[in-house]
């Protein structure tokens, strides 16, 4: 990562900061644009109209929604060609929306309504290069995070003398009145996060000290699968599954509990589910 990329990364590593930084920069640009218009009229010894200068400075305000949307869309594609296409679309959309915005604002707030085509030609001559440079530069240099939605392989506990992986087969929990209850892991329907604890859903709900992450390392990964950041499910206890048509799934357990399979875990879940039930899953 070069020096410029490191600088942008330090500015944008917090998800809330980019909006504030972008808004502040646009506010400064609009202010600078109005000030320059004023100085230009003084040099030319002509009249200065603050409302008109502010109206045409709305070009900069369009960057806030359009650039935010473009950066968000550019997080997903991995190929450079996709970013080029997104940048080109943002440039065209900006140049088309700018005269429409000026026309609308002048029609509502000004005595004179500015013609769309006249403003469009003005935008091309005054702002085309700036638009290309801003969108092209930011969509190229912006440090998009590398996301890995695949669940990490489940670590296996150290084997015994046979070298085979060992998993827990029971869990000891407190059941009140100083009584300890032994739950067979195979009979558990699913685990759900309840920080700083974990809920164990058996014939009834029990509270267990620990985290889902620690349980993942102790459970048989072919039987218990992470389906969501908050759930680990026993694939042997699934009665049905249904696609939401958006990458997510709904699964129904034997006790009629319905859980959501997040798209981030869907691929791994479908693999384990098909191993158990020998189904072809689309």
157 domain residue, yes or no: no
With a CB cutoff of 8 Å and minimum separation 6, the contacts of 212 are 191, 193, 198, 226, 230, 231, 232
Report the CATH number that the domain containing residue 238 is assigned in CATH: 2.40.50.1020
| Number of domains into which the chain is organized | 2
51 domain residue, yes or no: yes
pLDDT reading at 163 higher than 60: no
Query: Hunting for tokens 């506990």 — which residue is that?
Result: 157
pLDDT reading at 143 higher than 50: yes
Within this chain, do residues 177 and 261 fall inside the same structural domain, yes or no?
Answer: yes
Within this chain, do residues 131 and 200 fall inside the same structural domain, yes or no?
Answer: no
164 domain residue, yes or no: no
Last residue of a domain, one of 101, 124, 141: 141
How many whole angstroms separate alpha carbon 109 and alpha carbon 55? 10
Within this chain, do residues 9 and 136 fall inside the same structural domain, yes or no?
Answer: yes
Within this chain, do residues 25 and 112 fall inside the same structural domain, yes or no?
Answer: yes
pLDDT reading at 17 higher than 70: no
Residue 225, domain extent: 170-277
Last residue of a domain, one of 90, 122, 141: 141
150 domain residue, yes or no: no
Q: Work out the pLDDT band at 53, boundaries 50, 70, 90.
A: confident
Within this chain, do residues 21 and 105 fall inside the same structural domain, yes or no?
Answer: yes
Mean pLDDT of the chain: 80
Evaluate if pTM is beyond 0.85: no
pLDDT in tens, 171-226: 988 877 778 889 999 999 999 999 889 999 998 899 998 899 999 899 998 899 99
* Residue 184 structure tokens: 């067979």
Within this chain, do residues 87 and 177 fall inside the same structural domain, yes or no?
Answer: no
Q: Work out the pLDDT band at 140, boundaries 50, 70, 90.
A: low
Q: Work out the pLDDT band at 142, boundaries 50, 70, 90.
A: low
């Amino acid at each position: 990562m070069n020096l410029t990329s490191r600088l942008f990364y330090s500015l944008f590593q917090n998800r809330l900061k980019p909006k504030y930084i972008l808004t502040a920069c646009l506010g400064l640009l609009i202010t600078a644009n109005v000030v320059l218009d004023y100085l230009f009229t003084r040099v030319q010894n002509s009249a200065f109209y603050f409302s008109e200068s502010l109206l045409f400075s709305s070009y900069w305000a369009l960057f806030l929604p359009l650039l935010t949307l473009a950066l968000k869309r550019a997080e997903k594609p991995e190929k450079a060609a996709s970013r080029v296409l997104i940048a080109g679309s943002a440039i065209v959309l900006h140049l088309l929306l700018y005269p429409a915005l000026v026309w609308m604002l002048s029609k509502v707030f000004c005595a004179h309504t500015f013609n769309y085509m006249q403003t469009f030609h003005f935008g091309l001559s005054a702002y085309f290069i700036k638009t290309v440079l801003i969108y092209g530069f930011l969509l190229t240099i912006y440090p998009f995070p590398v996301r890995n939605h695949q669940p990490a392989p489940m670590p296996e506990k150290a084997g015994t003398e046979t070298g085979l992986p060992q998993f827990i087969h029971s869990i000891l929990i407190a059941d009140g009145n100083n009584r300890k209850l032994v739950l067979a892991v195979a009979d558990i329907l699913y685990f759900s996060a309840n920080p700083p604890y974990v809920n164990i859903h058996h014939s009834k709900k029990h509270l267990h000290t620990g985290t889902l992450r620690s349980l993942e390392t102790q459970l048989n990964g072919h039987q218990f699968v992470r389906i969501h950041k908050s759930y680990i499910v026993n694939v042997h206890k699934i009665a049905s599954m249904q696609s939401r048509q958006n990458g997510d799934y709904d699964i129904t357990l034997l006790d009629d509990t319905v859980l959501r399979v997040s798209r981030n875990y869907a691929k791994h879940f479908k693999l384990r589910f098909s191993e158990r039930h020998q189904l072809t899953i689309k």
